[in-house]
Amino acid sequence: MNALAARRRHPAAIALLLLLGLVLTGVAYSTFAPKQADASPAAASQVEEGKKLFLANCSTCHGLQAQGTNVGPSLAGVGAASVDFQVGTGRMPLAKPDVQAPKAKVRFRQPEISALAAYVASLAPGPPIPDAQYTKGDGDVAKGGELFRVNCAMCHNFAGSGGALTRGKYAPSLRNVQGKHIYEAMVTGPQSMPVFNDANISPQSKNDIISYLHAIDKEENVGGMNLGNLGPVSEGLFAWVFGLGLMVAFAVWLGRKAA
């Protein structure tokens, strides 16, 4: 018993126990972890095509391995959704360094965008391109309006018309934007936008928000000119410029008539 106790107190015993625990953990994981299917030849070909497109069009800013540089962030972990949003809305490739990437003309065909997304997704896990059932805009418009006003209206305006932020940045207009791109923006958080993952807003609730925005796009303005739905600032400016201008013109007309 004394010899056994002495071996237990040996300094190497703790290290051996830790090593044994790590070995057993690795064996258990390799045995019981879900097996991933090997990539199909078509998927591998798409990733390879995406890599070629990336090296030719994106590596100058993001690095040859998408590791990031002093002018572009790392793309590891951004997911296919981020690439589909940024490239699919023309924000990338960025024409010149700026405080924010504006929406512009799309420079790639959809198969090329899909290939770029597949390559970036192969680098590290990230948000995938959303399922079409959650981007159709066939959800609850009333619920979507409530969610939008609580989570989005403070930056994007109550009608999704966009608004100014700090340091030259802005929340872009959401009018006539594809449901897929709205969803992708919510799960990737481009620019100054926060990320709304499934724990914050469920996929169905995201579809409700998309439904609300699409309903606004189709809604007729029965009150006349909406002045861009930019709120009291534009409305007040219109009232001061045109209203006050008419009053001044009317006063001048009365003065000339009296003379």
The reply to whether 90 falls in a domain is yes
pTM (two decimals): 0.74
pLDDT tens digits along 194-216: 999 999 999 999 999 999 999 99
Looking at the fold, whether 175 and 94 belong to one and the same domain comes out as no
pLDDT for 158 equals 86
Mean pLDDT, rounded, of the chain: 86
- Output 166 or 4, whichever has higher pLDDT: 166
The reply to whether 244 falls in a domain is no
For the chain, helix, strand, coil in percent to 5 are: 55, 0, 40
Of 88, 123, 158, which residue sits at a domain end?
123
The reply to whether 73 falls in a domain is yes
Looking at the fold, whether 143 and 101 belong to one and the same domain comes out as no
Of 123, 155, 181, which residue sits at a domain end?
123
Looking at the fold, whether 210 and 180 belong to one and the same domain comes out as yes
C-alpha–C-alpha distance, residues 182 and 177, integer Å: 7
- Count CA atoms closer than 13 A to 162's CA, side-chain side: 13
pLDDT for 38 equals 47
Domain around 112: 42-123
pLDDT tens digits along 45-62: 999 999 999 999 999 999
Of 82, 106, 123, which residue sits at a domain end?
123
CATH number for the domain harbouring residue 84: 1.10.760.10
Looking at the fold, whether 116 and 146 belong to one and the same domain comes out as no
Is residue 39's pLDDT more than 60? no
